[in-house]
Structure 1
Amino acid sequence: MTVAEAEATQQRTPPPPGRRPADQWGTSGLVTQTLALTGRSVRPYLQAGVLIVTFVEPLVMLLMFAGVLKVLGDAPGMPTDMAYIDNLAPAIMIITAVAAGAQAGNGLINDLRNDVITRFHTMPINRFSVLLARSFADGARALYQLIAVAVLAALLFGFAPPGGVAGVVGAILMSLLVGWSMSWIFILMAAVLRNGDVLRMITTLLTFPLLFASNAFVPAESMPTWLRVIAQANPISYANDATRSMVGGQITLAELLATAAACLALVCVCAPISKRSFRVM
Protein backbone atom coordinates (compact mmCIF):
# COMPACT_ATOMS: atom_id res chain seq x y z
CA MET A 1 0.00 0.00 0.00
CA THR A 2 1.39 3.39 -0.97
CA VAL A 3 1.61 6.34 1.40
CA ALA A 4 -1.18 8.17 -0.46
CA GLU A 5 -3.50 5.15 -0.17
CA ALA A 6 -2.75 4.83 3.54
CA GLU A 7 -3.60 8.48 4.16
CA ALA A 8 -6.86 8.16 2.18
CA THR A 9 -7.85 5.09 4.21
CA GLN A 10 -7.10 6.91 7.46
CA GLN A 11 -9.25 9.86 6.42
CA ARG A 12 -12.20 7.57 5.59
CA THR A 13 -11.97 5.78 8.94
CA PRO A 14 -14.91 6.96 11.10
CA PRO A 15 -14.21 8.19 14.65
CA PRO A 16 -14.72 5.71 17.51
CA PRO A 17 -18.32 5.50 18.80
CA GLY A 18 -19.11 7.87 21.67
CA ARG A 19 -16.36 10.33 20.78
CA ARG A 20 -16.94 13.72 19.19
CA PRO A 21 -14.16 15.04 16.96
CA ALA A 22 -13.04 18.51 17.99
CA ASP A 23 -13.98 20.01 14.63
CA GLN A 24 -17.63 19.02 15.14
CA TRP A 25 -17.85 21.53 17.99
CA GLY A 26 -17.33 24.25 15.46
CA THR A 27 -20.42 23.19 13.51
CA SER A 28 -22.69 22.96 16.57
CA GLY A 29 -24.71 25.96 17.64
CA LEU A 30 -24.70 28.02 20.80
CA VAL A 31 -27.70 26.12 22.20
CA THR A 32 -26.12 22.69 21.68
CA GLN A 33 -22.84 23.76 23.22
CA THR A 34 -24.57 25.42 26.17
CA LEU A 35 -26.64 22.31 26.89
CA ALA A 36 -23.58 20.07 26.76
CA LEU A 37 -21.55 22.33 29.05
CA THR A 38 -24.49 22.81 31.41
CA GLY A 39 -24.74 19.03 31.79
CA ARG A 40 -21.04 18.95 32.60
CA SER A 41 -21.46 21.65 35.27
CA VAL A 42 -24.59 20.08 36.77
CA ARG A 43 -23.10 16.58 37.21
CA PRO A 44 -21.10 17.46 40.37
CA TYR A 45 -24.32 18.74 41.97
CA LEU A 46 -25.98 15.34 41.47
CA GLN A 47 -23.64 13.53 43.84
CA ALA A 48 -25.41 12.20 46.94
CA GLY A 49 -23.37 14.22 49.41
CA VAL A 50 -23.84 17.45 47.49
CA LEU A 51 -27.58 16.86 47.16
CA ILE A 52 -27.90 16.33 50.90
CA VAL A 53 -25.95 19.48 51.76
CA THR A 54 -27.89 21.46 49.17
CA PHE A 55 -31.13 20.23 50.75
CA VAL A 56 -29.98 20.99 54.31
CA GLU A 57 -29.17 24.64 53.51
CA PRO A 58 -32.81 25.76 53.02
CA LEU A 59 -33.87 23.56 55.95
CA VAL A 60 -31.47 25.35 58.30
CA MET A 61 -32.57 28.72 56.94
CA LEU A 62 -36.23 27.91 57.52
CA LEU A 63 -35.62 26.59 61.03
CA MET A 64 -33.54 29.62 61.91
CA PHE A 65 -35.77 32.34 60.50
CA ALA A 66 -39.25 30.82 60.63
CA GLY A 67 -38.66 29.33 64.07
CA VAL A 68 -36.48 31.81 65.92
CA LEU A 69 -37.87 34.95 64.30
CA LYS A 70 -41.52 33.91 64.43
CA VAL A 71 -42.04 36.51 67.15
CA LEU A 72 -41.50 39.17 64.48
CA GLY A 73 -44.90 38.25 63.10
CA ASP A 74 -46.40 40.39 65.88
CA ALA A 75 -44.18 43.38 65.14
CA PRO A 76 -45.88 46.67 64.21
CA GLY A 77 -46.48 47.06 60.51
CA MET A 78 -46.54 43.33 59.74
CA PRO A 79 -49.40 42.31 57.45
CA THR A 80 -52.36 40.90 59.33
CA ASP A 81 -54.03 39.16 56.38
CA MET A 82 -51.22 36.60 56.01
CA ALA A 83 -49.42 34.31 58.43
CA TYR A 84 -45.79 35.19 59.12
CA ILE A 85 -44.54 32.07 57.30
CA ASP A 86 -46.59 33.05 54.24
CA ASN A 87 -44.84 36.42 54.32
CA LEU A 88 -41.40 35.00 55.13
CA ALA A 89 -41.17 32.03 52.72
CA PRO A 90 -41.13 34.18 49.55
CA ALA A 91 -38.28 36.25 51.01
CA ILE A 92 -36.35 33.08 51.85
CA MET A 93 -36.85 31.98 48.23
CA ILE A 94 -35.22 35.20 47.04
CA ILE A 95 -32.37 34.83 49.54
CA THR A 96 -31.84 31.21 48.47
CA ALA A 97 -31.84 32.05 44.76
CA VAL A 98 -29.41 34.95 45.14
CA ALA A 99 -27.09 32.89 47.35
CA ALA A 100 -27.07 30.12 44.73
CA GLY A 101 -26.42 32.65 41.99
CA ALA A 102 -23.44 33.97 43.91
CA GLN A 103 -21.82 30.55 43.57
CA ALA A 104 -21.63 30.94 39.78
CA GLY A 105 -18.56 33.15 40.11
CA ASN A 106 -16.83 30.65 42.38
CA GLY A 107 -17.57 27.86 39.90
CA LEU A 108 -15.96 29.85 37.11
CA ILE A 109 -12.90 30.53 39.29
CA ASN A 110 -12.60 26.82 40.09
CA ASP A 111 -12.68 25.95 36.38
CA LEU A 112 -9.97 28.53 35.79
CA ARG A 113 -7.85 27.15 38.62
CA ASN A 114 -8.20 23.59 37.29
CA ASP A 115 -7.15 24.69 33.77
CA VAL A 116 -10.57 23.73 32.42
CA ILE A 117 -10.97 27.22 30.95
CA THR A 118 -7.61 26.85 29.18
CA ARG A 119 -8.85 23.66 27.54
CA PHE A 120 -12.06 25.37 26.47
CA HIS A 121 -10.05 28.14 24.83
CA THR A 122 -8.28 25.56 22.67
CA MET A 123 -11.60 24.15 21.40
CA PRO A 124 -13.65 25.64 18.55
CA ILE A 125 -16.62 26.50 20.75
CA ASN A 126 -18.49 29.70 21.42
CA ARG A 127 -16.92 30.97 24.62
CA PHE A 128 -20.13 32.65 25.69
CA SER A 129 -21.65 29.16 25.98
CA VAL A 130 -19.26 28.50 28.88
CA LEU A 131 -20.66 31.47 30.79
CA LEU A 132 -24.25 30.59 29.94
CA ALA A 133 -23.70 27.02 31.06
CA ARG A 134 -22.27 28.17 34.38
CA SER A 135 -25.26 30.44 35.04
CA PHE A 136 -27.77 27.73 34.07
CA ALA A 137 -26.03 25.07 36.19
CA ASP A 138 -26.27 27.19 39.33
CA GLY A 139 -29.82 28.06 38.33
CA ALA A 140 -30.64 24.34 38.32
CA ARG A 141 -29.15 24.07 41.80
CA ALA A 142 -31.26 27.03 42.90
CA LEU A 143 -34.41 25.41 41.48
CA TYR A 144 -33.80 22.30 43.59
CA GLN A 145 -33.38 24.44 46.71
CA LEU A 146 -36.42 26.59 45.97
CA ILE A 147 -38.62 23.53 45.66
CA ALA A 148 -37.16 22.31 48.95
CA VAL A 149 -38.00 25.65 50.61
CA ALA A 150 -41.63 25.47 49.47
CA VAL A 151 -42.08 21.83 50.49
CA LEU A 152 -40.35 22.17 53.86
CA ALA A 153 -42.20 25.38 54.69
CA ALA A 154 -45.49 23.64 53.96
CA LEU A 155 -44.66 20.48 55.92
CA LEU A 156 -42.97 22.06 58.94
CA PHE A 157 -44.58 25.47 59.32
CA GLY A 158 -47.92 25.23 57.52
CA PHE A 159 -47.03 27.39 54.54
CA ALA A 160 -50.37 27.75 52.72
CA PRO A 161 -50.55 31.14 50.97
CA PRO A 162 -53.76 32.51 49.46
CA GLY A 163 -52.32 32.20 45.96
CA GLY A 164 -52.27 28.41 46.23
CA VAL A 165 -50.00 26.14 44.23
CA ALA A 166 -50.02 28.44 41.22
CA GLY A 167 -48.79 31.32 43.37
CA VAL A 168 -46.00 29.21 44.87
CA VAL A 169 -44.88 28.00 41.44
CA GLY A 170 -44.90 31.59 40.21
CA ALA A 171 -42.84 32.71 43.21
CA ILE A 172 -40.32 29.94 42.54
CA LEU A 173 -39.98 30.95 38.90
CA MET A 174 -39.67 34.63 39.80
CA SER A 175 -37.04 33.87 42.44
CA LEU A 176 -35.20 31.76 39.89
CA LEU A 177 -35.18 34.67 37.43
CA VAL A 178 -33.90 37.06 40.11
CA GLY A 179 -31.16 34.66 41.20
CA TRP A 180 -30.12 33.92 37.60
CA SER A 181 -29.85 37.61 36.76
CA MET A 182 -27.86 38.28 39.93
CA SER A 183 -25.50 35.42 39.06
CA TRP A 184 -24.20 37.50 36.14
CA ILE A 185 -22.84 40.07 38.58
CA PHE A 186 -20.67 37.40 40.17
CA ILE A 187 -19.73 35.87 36.81
CA LEU A 188 -18.61 39.34 35.74
CA MET A 189 -16.53 39.78 38.88
CA ALA A 190 -14.98 36.33 38.42
CA ALA A 191 -14.07 37.10 34.81
CA VAL A 192 -12.48 40.40 35.82
CA LEU A 193 -10.83 39.49 39.14
CA ARG A 194 -9.82 35.85 38.46
CA ASN A 195 -9.03 35.47 42.16
CA GLY A 196 -11.18 33.19 44.27
CA ASP A 197 -10.21 34.66 47.65
CA VAL A 198 -10.95 38.22 46.61
CA LEU A 199 -14.19 37.14 44.94
CA ARG A 200 -15.40 35.37 48.09
CA MET A 201 -14.73 38.45 50.22
CA ILE A 202 -16.52 40.74 47.79
CA THR A 203 -19.42 38.27 47.52
CA THR A 204 -19.86 38.27 51.30
CA LEU A 205 -19.62 42.06 51.53
CA LEU A 206 -22.15 42.43 48.71
CA THR A 207 -24.72 39.76 49.50
CA PHE A 208 -24.95 40.16 53.28
CA PRO A 209 -26.24 43.77 53.32
CA LEU A 210 -28.13 43.26 50.07
CA LEU A 211 -30.16 40.39 51.51
CA PHE A 212 -30.58 41.43 55.12
CA ALA A 213 -30.89 45.22 54.72
CA SER A 214 -34.19 44.65 52.98
CA ASN A 215 -37.81 44.04 53.90
CA ALA A 216 -37.25 40.28 54.02
CA PHE A 217 -38.03 39.89 57.73
CA VAL A 218 -39.79 43.07 58.82
CA PRO A 219 -41.44 45.90 56.86
CA ALA A 220 -39.18 48.79 55.95
CA GLU A 221 -41.58 51.15 57.75
CA SER A 222 -40.67 49.60 61.12
CA MET A 223 -36.91 50.15 60.64
CA PRO A 224 -34.82 53.11 61.83
CA THR A 225 -34.80 55.99 59.39
CA TRP A 226 -31.30 55.36 58.00
CA LEU A 227 -31.97 51.64 57.53
CA ARG A 228 -35.41 52.30 56.06
CA VAL A 229 -33.85 54.45 53.33
CA ILE A 230 -31.44 51.61 52.44
CA ALA A 231 -34.19 48.98 52.49
CA GLN A 232 -36.49 51.05 50.28
CA ALA A 233 -33.69 51.56 47.74
CA ASN A 234 -32.62 47.91 47.89
CA PRO A 235 -33.66 46.00 44.72
CA ILE A 236 -34.07 42.85 46.82
CA SER A 237 -36.94 44.55 48.65
CA TYR A 238 -38.78 44.96 45.34
CA ALA A 239 -38.11 41.31 44.51
CA ASN A 240 -39.50 40.32 47.92
CA ASP A 241 -42.64 42.39 47.30
CA ALA A 242 -43.14 40.76 43.90
CA THR A 243 -42.84 37.21 45.24
CA ARG A 244 -45.13 38.01 48.15
CA SER A 245 -47.70 39.38 45.74
CA MET A 246 -47.31 36.19 43.72
CA VAL A 247 -47.96 33.82 46.63
CA GLY A 248 -50.75 36.08 47.82
CA GLY A 249 -52.48 35.92 44.46
CA GLN A 250 -52.30 39.70 44.12
CA ILE A 251 -49.58 40.09 41.50
CA THR A 252 -50.28 42.71 38.87
CA LEU A 253 -49.08 42.67 35.29
CA ALA A 254 -47.15 45.91 35.82
CA GLU A 255 -45.32 44.47 38.84
CA LEU A 256 -44.53 41.28 36.96
CA LEU A 257 -43.23 43.10 33.89
CA ALA A 258 -41.19 45.53 36.00
CA THR A 259 -39.44 42.69 37.83
CA ALA A 260 -38.73 40.78 34.62
CA ALA A 261 -37.49 43.93 32.87
CA ALA A 262 -35.12 44.80 35.73
CA CYS A 263 -33.67 41.26 35.72
CA LEU A 264 -33.20 41.19 31.95
CA ALA A 265 -31.64 44.67 32.00
CA LEU A 266 -29.10 43.47 34.55
CA VAL A 267 -28.21 40.51 32.34
CA CYS A 268 -27.93 42.73 29.26
CA VAL A 269 -25.43 44.93 31.09
CA CYS A 270 -23.31 42.26 32.78
CA ALA A 271 -23.29 39.50 30.14
CA PRO A 272 -21.48 41.43 27.35
CA ILE A 273 -18.85 42.70 29.77
CA SER A 274 -18.39 39.18 31.14
CA LYS A 275 -18.02 37.81 27.62
CA ARG A 276 -15.38 40.39 26.72
CA SER A 277 -13.42 39.80 29.94
CA PHE A 278 -13.71 36.02 29.58
CA ARG A 279 -12.31 36.18 26.04
CA VAL A 280 -8.91 37.29 27.32
CA MET A 281 -8.69 34.82 30.19
Structure 2
Amino acid sequence: MAWRALKKMRRNPEQFFDVTIQPLLFTAMFAYIFGGAISGGVSAYLPVLIPGIVAQTVLTTCMSTGVQLREDMEKGVFDRFKSLPMARIAPLAGPMIADLLRYLIAAGLTFVAGLIIGYRPGGGVVGVAGAMVLAIVTGWSLAWIFTWLGTITKSAKSVQGISMMILFPLAFRSNAFVPVQTLLNWLADLVKVNPVSHLVSGTCALANRGVISGEVGWTLLACAVVIAVFAPLSMRGYRRHL
Protein backbone atom coordinates (compact mmCIF):
# COMPACT_ATOMS: atom_id res chain seq x y z
CA MET A 1 0.00 0.00 0.00
CA ALA A 2 2.92 2.34 0.64
CA TRP A 3 4.35 1.50 -2.79
CA ARG A 4 0.96 2.20 -4.37
CA ALA A 5 0.90 5.63 -2.75
CA LEU A 6 4.44 6.37 -3.95
CA LYS A 7 3.50 5.42 -7.52
CA LYS A 8 0.50 7.75 -7.32
CA MET A 9 2.83 10.57 -6.28
CA ARG A 10 5.17 9.82 -9.18
CA ARG A 11 2.32 9.90 -11.67
CA ASN A 12 0.78 13.03 -10.12
CA PRO A 13 3.72 15.37 -9.50
CA GLU A 14 1.32 18.15 -8.47
CA GLN A 15 1.08 16.33 -5.14
CA PHE A 16 4.57 17.64 -4.44
CA PHE A 17 3.73 21.30 -5.05
CA ASP A 18 2.90 21.97 -1.41
CA VAL A 19 6.17 20.43 -0.16
CA THR A 20 8.40 22.03 -2.80
CA ILE A 21 6.99 25.49 -3.54
CA GLN A 22 5.54 26.35 -0.12
CA PRO A 23 8.78 25.97 1.90
CA LEU A 24 10.75 28.08 -0.57
CA LEU A 25 8.05 30.73 -0.86
CA PHE A 26 7.30 31.03 2.85
CA THR A 27 10.96 31.06 3.87
CA ALA A 28 11.87 33.89 1.52
CA MET A 29 8.66 35.84 2.10
CA PHE A 30 8.68 35.75 5.90
CA ALA A 31 12.42 36.36 6.13
CA TYR A 32 12.46 39.51 4.02
CA ILE A 33 9.10 40.91 5.13
CA PHE A 34 9.28 40.32 8.90
CA GLY A 35 13.02 39.94 9.51
CA GLY A 36 13.76 43.62 9.97
CA ALA A 37 10.63 44.35 12.01
CA ILE A 38 10.98 41.43 14.43
CA SER A 39 14.72 40.84 14.82
CA GLY A 40 16.34 43.87 13.24
CA GLY A 41 17.55 42.01 10.17
CA VAL A 42 17.15 38.90 8.08
CA SER A 43 20.24 37.10 9.41
CA ALA A 44 19.16 37.62 13.03
CA TYR A 45 15.63 36.40 12.27
CA LEU A 46 16.58 33.19 10.45
CA PRO A 47 17.42 31.14 13.60
CA VAL A 48 13.87 31.86 14.79
CA LEU A 49 12.16 31.57 11.42
CA ILE A 50 13.62 28.39 9.91
CA PRO A 51 12.55 26.01 12.71
CA GLY A 52 9.12 27.65 12.67
CA ILE A 53 8.76 27.22 8.91
CA VAL A 54 9.84 23.56 9.20
CA ALA A 55 7.17 22.93 11.82
CA GLN A 56 4.46 24.80 9.91
CA THR A 57 5.26 23.15 6.57
CA VAL A 58 5.22 19.63 7.97
CA LEU A 59 1.95 20.30 9.80
CA THR A 60 0.19 21.63 6.72
CA THR A 61 1.60 18.76 4.65
CA CYS A 62 0.11 16.06 6.89
CA MET A 63 -3.36 17.41 6.15
CA SER A 64 -3.24 15.93 2.65
CA THR A 65 -3.19 12.41 4.08
CA GLY A 66 -6.84 12.65 5.09
CA VAL A 67 -7.81 14.40 1.86
CA GLN A 68 -6.24 11.68 -0.30
CA LEU A 69 -7.84 8.96 1.81
CA ARG A 70 -11.29 10.50 1.44
CA GLU A 71 -10.82 10.84 -2.33
CA ASP A 72 -9.90 7.14 -2.61
CA MET A 73 -12.96 6.17 -0.60
CA GLU A 74 -15.19 8.31 -2.81
CA LYS A 75 -13.80 6.65 -5.95
CA GLY A 76 -14.60 3.16 -4.64
CA VAL A 77 -10.98 2.04 -4.45
CA PHE A 78 -11.48 0.77 -0.92
CA ASP A 79 -14.22 -1.59 -2.13
CA ARG A 80 -11.47 -3.55 -3.88
CA PHE A 81 -9.31 -3.59 -0.76
CA LYS A 82 -12.04 -5.41 1.16
CA SER A 83 -11.43 -8.60 -0.82
CA LEU A 84 -7.63 -8.54 -0.66
CA PRO A 85 -5.65 -10.59 1.90
CA MET A 86 -4.14 -7.71 3.86
CA ALA A 87 -4.27 -6.29 7.35
CA ARG A 88 -7.17 -3.90 7.83
CA ILE A 89 -4.82 -1.13 8.88
CA ALA A 90 -2.74 -1.42 5.67
CA PRO A 91 -4.91 0.89 3.49
CA LEU A 92 -4.55 3.56 6.19
CA ALA A 93 -0.94 3.07 7.29
CA GLY A 94 0.50 2.44 3.82
CA PRO A 95 -0.14 5.94 2.42
CA MET A 96 1.05 7.44 5.69
CA ILE A 97 4.38 5.62 5.34
CA ALA A 98 4.68 6.96 1.80
CA ASP A 99 3.97 10.46 3.07
CA LEU A 100 7.19 10.31 5.10
CA LEU A 101 8.92 11.17 1.82
CA ARG A 102 6.83 14.32 1.48
CA TYR A 103 7.65 15.39 5.04
CA LEU A 104 11.36 14.82 4.36
CA ILE A 105 11.24 16.93 1.21
CA ALA A 106 9.36 19.73 2.99
CA ALA A 107 11.75 19.88 5.95
CA GLY A 108 14.85 19.48 3.79
CA LEU A 109 13.93 22.22 1.33
CA THR A 110 13.17 24.62 4.16
CA PHE A 111 16.67 24.21 5.56
CA VAL A 112 18.17 24.47 2.08
CA ALA A 113 16.27 27.70 1.43
CA GLY A 114 17.47 29.03 4.78
CA LEU A 115 21.09 28.19 3.96
CA ILE A 116 20.80 29.98 0.63
CA ILE A 117 19.65 33.23 2.24
CA GLY A 118 22.19 33.12 5.09
CA TYR A 119 21.04 30.72 7.81
CA ARG A 120 23.91 28.95 9.57
CA PRO A 121 22.62 26.36 12.06
CA GLY A 122 24.84 26.09 15.12
CA GLY A 123 23.82 22.49 15.68
CA GLY A 124 25.58 21.38 12.52
CA VAL A 125 24.55 18.45 10.37
CA VAL A 126 23.60 16.28 13.35
CA GLY A 127 21.44 18.99 14.89
CA VAL A 128 19.67 19.72 11.62
CA ALA A 129 19.07 16.01 11.04
CA GLY A 130 17.63 15.68 14.54
CA ALA A 131 15.36 18.68 13.96
CA MET A 132 14.10 17.17 10.72
CA VAL A 133 13.43 13.80 12.36
CA LEU A 134 11.48 15.48 15.17
CA ALA A 135 9.37 17.43 12.68
CA ILE A 136 8.74 14.35 10.52
CA VAL A 137 7.70 12.22 13.52
CA THR A 138 5.33 14.97 14.64
CA GLY A 139 3.82 15.33 11.19
CA TRP A 140 3.34 11.57 10.88
CA SER A 141 1.61 11.34 14.25
CA LEU A 142 -0.70 14.27 13.52
CA ALA A 143 -1.59 12.70 10.18
CA TRP A 144 -3.59 10.13 12.15
CA ILE A 145 -5.98 12.93 13.13
CA PHE A 146 -6.64 13.77 9.50
CA THR A 147 -6.85 10.10 8.59
CA TRP A 148 -9.62 9.80 11.15
CA LEU A 149 -11.34 12.85 9.67
CA GLY A 150 -11.08 11.20 6.25
CA THR A 151 -13.00 8.17 7.52
CA ILE A 152 -15.87 10.10 9.12
CA THR A 153 -16.47 13.07 6.79
CA LYS A 154 -18.52 12.96 3.62
CA SER A 155 -16.13 14.58 1.15
CA ALA A 156 -12.50 15.51 0.59
CA LYS A 157 -13.45 19.19 0.69
CA SER A 158 -14.88 18.70 4.17
CA VAL A 159 -11.61 17.15 5.35
CA GLN A 160 -9.66 20.05 3.89
CA GLY A 161 -11.93 22.69 5.42
CA ILE A 162 -11.90 21.15 8.90
CA SER A 163 -8.15 20.58 8.73
CA MET A 164 -7.48 24.22 7.89
CA MET A 165 -9.56 25.35 10.86
CA ILE A 166 -7.45 23.11 13.11
CA LEU A 167 -4.00 23.77 11.68
CA PHE A 168 -3.92 27.50 11.10
CA PRO A 169 -4.74 28.55 14.70
CA LEU A 170 -2.21 26.01 15.97
CA ALA A 171 0.53 27.10 13.56
CA PHE A 172 0.12 30.86 13.84
CA ARG A 173 -0.78 30.99 17.54
CA SER A 174 2.62 29.63 18.44
CA ASN A 175 6.21 30.80 18.72
CA ALA A 176 6.91 29.77 15.12
CA PHE A 177 7.40 33.33 13.86
CA VAL A 178 7.71 35.66 16.85
CA PRO A 179 9.39 35.35 20.28
CA VAL A 180 6.93 34.63 23.08
CA GLN A 181 8.24 37.53 25.21
CA THR A 182 6.99 40.04 22.63
CA LEU A 183 3.36 38.94 23.04
CA LEU A 184 0.68 40.14 25.44
CA ASN A 185 0.59 38.19 28.70
CA TRP A 186 -2.67 36.36 28.01
CA LEU A 187 -1.60 35.49 24.46
CA ALA A 188 1.84 34.36 25.64
CA ASP A 189 0.17 31.96 28.10
CA LEU A 190 -1.84 30.42 25.26
CA VAL A 191 1.24 30.13 23.08
CA LYS A 192 3.21 28.37 25.81
CA VAL A 193 0.64 25.56 26.11
CA ASN A 194 0.30 25.15 22.34
CA PRO A 195 1.83 21.79 21.31
CA VAL A 196 3.24 23.40 18.17
CA SER A 197 5.29 25.74 20.37
CA HIS A 198 6.96 22.72 21.97
CA LEU A 199 7.76 21.37 18.51
CA VAL A 200 9.21 24.69 17.37
CA SER A 201 11.27 25.10 20.55
CA GLY A 202 12.60 21.54 20.31
CA THR A 203 13.43 21.97 16.63
CA CYS A 204 15.10 25.30 17.34
CA ALA A 205 17.26 23.82 20.13
CA LEU A 206 18.38 20.95 17.91
CA ALA A 207 19.11 22.99 14.79
CA ASN A 208 20.62 26.09 16.42
CA ARG A 209 22.48 24.58 19.40
CA GLY A 210 22.56 20.82 18.84
CA VAL A 211 20.82 20.35 22.19
CA ILE A 212 18.09 17.83 23.02
CA SER A 213 15.91 20.00 25.24
CA GLY A 214 12.96 19.09 27.40
CA GLU A 215 10.71 20.43 24.64
CA VAL A 216 11.75 17.46 22.49
CA GLY A 217 10.49 15.09 25.18
CA TRP A 218 7.16 16.91 25.51
CA THR A 219 6.75 16.85 21.73
CA LEU A 220 7.39 13.12 21.49
CA LEU A 221 5.03 12.49 24.40
CA ALA A 222 2.30 14.46 22.61
CA CYS A 223 2.97 12.45 19.43
CA ALA A 224 2.56 9.18 21.35
CA VAL A 225 -0.73 10.36 22.85
CA VAL A 226 -2.08 11.43 19.45
CA ILE A 227 -1.22 8.07 17.89
CA ALA A 228 -2.68 6.14 20.82
CA VAL A 229 -5.97 8.04 20.53
CA PHE A 230 -6.46 8.58 16.81
CA ALA A 231 -5.01 5.39 15.30
CA PRO A 232 -7.77 3.27 16.93
CA LEU A 233 -10.36 5.91 16.03
CA SER A 234 -9.19 5.80 12.41
CA MET A 235 -9.50 2.02 12.36
CA ARG A 236 -13.00 2.22 13.85
CA GLY A 237 -14.05 4.80 11.26
CA TYR A 238 -12.57 2.68 8.47
CA ARG A 239 -14.40 -0.47 9.61
CA ARG A 240 -17.71 1.33 9.18
CA HIS A 241 -17.06 1.37 5.44
CA LEU A 242 -16.29 -2.34 5.22
TM-score (norm 2): 0.91
Paired residue for 1:67?
A: 32
CA contact (8 A) 1:103 1:138 kept: no
Q: Matched residues in 1 for 2:137 and 2:16: separation?
A: 24
Alpha carbons of 1:47 and 1:263: their partners in 2 closer, same or farther (altered >3 Å)? same
Paired residue for 1:93?
A: 54
Equivalent AA in structure 2 for residue 126 of structure 1: A
Which runs of structure 2 are paired with 1:227-242 in the superposition (5 Å)? 227-242=187-202
How far does the alpha carbon of each residue in 1:209-265 deviate from its partner, in whole angstroms, 9 at most, with x for none? 110011111112211233223212211001100000101225236443332222122
1:43 is aligned to 2:10: no
Q: Matched residues in 2 for 1:104 and 1:51: separation?
A: 11
Q: Matched residues in 2 for 1:232 and 1:46: separation?
A: 40
CA contact (8 A) 2:123 2:211 kept: no
Equivalent AA in structure 1 for residue 14 of structure 2: V
Q: Matched residues in 2 for 1:235 and 1:262: separation?
A: 7
1:110 is aligned to 2:71: yes
Please, what is the CA RMSD of the aligned residues?
2.0
CA contact (8 A) 1:45 1:141 kept: no
Bigger radius of gyration: 1
CA contact (8 A) 2:89 2:235 kept: yes
Which runs of structure 2 are paired with 1:173-184 in the superposition (5 Å)? 173-184=133-144
Q: Matched residues in 2 for 1:112 and 1:226: separation?
A: 43
Alpha carbons of 1:220 and 1:255: their partners in 2 closer, same or farther (altered >3 Å)? closer
Equivalent AA in structure 1 for residue 216 of structure 2: L
Give structure 2 stretches of 5+ with no counterpart: none
Paired residue for 1:159?
A: 119
Paired residue for 1:248?
A: 208
How far does the alpha carbon of each residue in 1:36-91 deviate from its partner, in whole angstroms, 9 at most, with x for none? x111112232348437624212111112111211124427xxxx9x8311221111
Paired residue for 2:104?
A: 143
Percent identity, aligned pairs only, is 28
> Which is worse superposed, 42-51 or 135-144?
42-51
Give structure 1 stretches of 5+ with no counterpart: 1-36
Paired residue for 1:55?
A: 20
CA contact (8 A) 2:191 2:197 kept: yes
> Which is worse superposed, 50-59 or 134-143?
50-59
How far does the alpha carbon of each residue in 1:123-177 deviate from its partner, in whole angstroms, 9 at most, with x for none? 221120111112222221111121111112111x111111011111111111001
Alpha carbons of 1:271 and 1:279: their partners in 2 closer, same or farther (altered >3 Å)? same
- Which residue, out of 88, 94, 115, partners 1:127? 88
Q: Matched residues in 2 for 1:46 and 1:123: separation?
A: 24
- Count of residues in Structure 1 that have an aligned counterpart in Structure 2: 239
1:168 is aligned to 2:133: no
Alpha carbons of 1:52 and 1:201: their partners in 2 closer, same or farther (altered >3 Å)? closer
Paired residue for 2:167?
A: 207
Q: Matched residues in 2 for 1:171 and 1:72: separation?
A: 26
Q: Matched residues in 1 for 2:16 and 2:81: separation?
A: 30
1:266 Cα offset (Å): 1.0
1:240 aligns to what SS in structure 2? helix
